[in-house]
Homo-oligomer: A and B are copies of this chain.
Amino acid sequence: MSTRLQIAPKGPEFSRIVLGLWRLSAWQMSPAERVQFLHAALDLGITTIDQADIYGDYTSELLLGETFALAPELRSRFQIVTKCGIQFPSTQRPHQQAHIYNTSAAHIIASAENSLRSMRIEKIDLLLIHRPDPLMNADEIAEAFSQLQRAGKVSYFGVSNFSPAQFEMLASRFPLVTNQVECSLLHQVPIYDGSFDLCQRLRVVPMVWSALAGGRLFSDQTPQSQRLQTCLSGIAEELGVSVSCVAIAWILHLPSQPMVLTGSSRVKVLVETVQALDCQLSRDQWFDLWRAATGAELP
């Protein structure tokens, strides 16, 4: 399986496994540990980082910025994805009084500029609208994207958690290179609601979050999860890999070629995740997992 993907015709290559820094602040690493962690990711071929302004109550980008300041050689070796468009009350953002979506041009531009400062970088490789905002004006968003691109502040743009109709609407005004959506054996929605069909049609590479359903894939005691645990274990044993490796390979085999986020701080887990790129599931195995997940027979 290809370990890197070009996200746009002349665009940069991203690693298919993406380092999710959603919980960076919760990991409570020392600055030196963070440097070490990023080096470990690079050593595994994980060169793409996923961030958002709001992660860690608006602190995750700051911590990454500190890490880059400490080890400036790291920056150029990563592609940085970050997001904007959600606001909520936070001591980090004293002027925000309510939890809202904000896709005004002013907010998008201010948020991107703030992300640059927080992460201490010159350019965001990929900026995503975090959630579909019922108030999003496609022309206004396109104008903000265009300004950020012309100013050299952001290279590419995409969205997250958008429906196909929302994606096509915004894509009619500005080229989008990804839709980052939730997908796992426990949450197959984008396989069936047209999201991945649209990605394939438009040659857009999706990104997947919560590929292990936040761990529920292995901890839940529902009949569905138990069927899946049995099936995953069997295949993992056959192939001599971990169960999480199999669960991630199941997603990597989708024809829209999703990139997959990892959310762990443990290098051991990153290793297993990257191994999924070498884990060739047969069609029989893939559909066995499908059956275990759905509890149904194929029509």
Contact = CB atoms under 8 A, between A and B. Distances in A.
Contacts of A131: 298-299
Interface string A239-277: 000000000000001110000000000000000000000
A147 interface: no
A191 interface: yes
Interface residues of A, number: 43
Contacts of A36: none
B201 A99 contact: no
Contacts of A255: 135-138, 140
Given A138-B201, A197-B166, A284-B97, A161 B299 contact: yes
Nearest to A284: B98
Interface stretch (A9-17, A114-122, A285-293): A285-293
A94 interface: no
A249 to B, nearest CB: 13
A238 interface: no
Nearest to A86: B298
A100 B297 contact: no
* In the A-B complex, the 6 residue pairs with the closest CB atoms: A165-B194, A137-B255, A165-B197, A169-B197, A98-B284, A100-B287
Interface string A26-42: 00000000000000000
A192 B298 CA distance: 24
A79 interface: no
B287 A99 contact: yes
B100 A135 contact: no
Interface string A90-126: 0000000111111010000000000000000000000
A98 B287 contact: yes
Contact of A201 (B169, B286, B288, B299): B169
Contacts of A200: 137-138, 169
A200 B205 CA distance: 24
A164 interface: yes
Contacts of A169: 197-198, 200-201
Given A99-B297, A101-B283, A135-B253, 5 more contacts: A86-B298, A100-B298, A131-B299, A165-B197, A168-B197
B98 A288 contact: yes
A194 B163 CA distance: 8
13 contacts: A99-B287, A100-B284, A101-B298, A104-B283, A131-B299, A135-B286, A138-B201, A140-B255, A163-B197, A165-B194, A165-B198, A169-B201, A172-B201
A113 to B, nearest CB: 20
Interface string A184-206: 00000001111001101100000
A215 interface: no
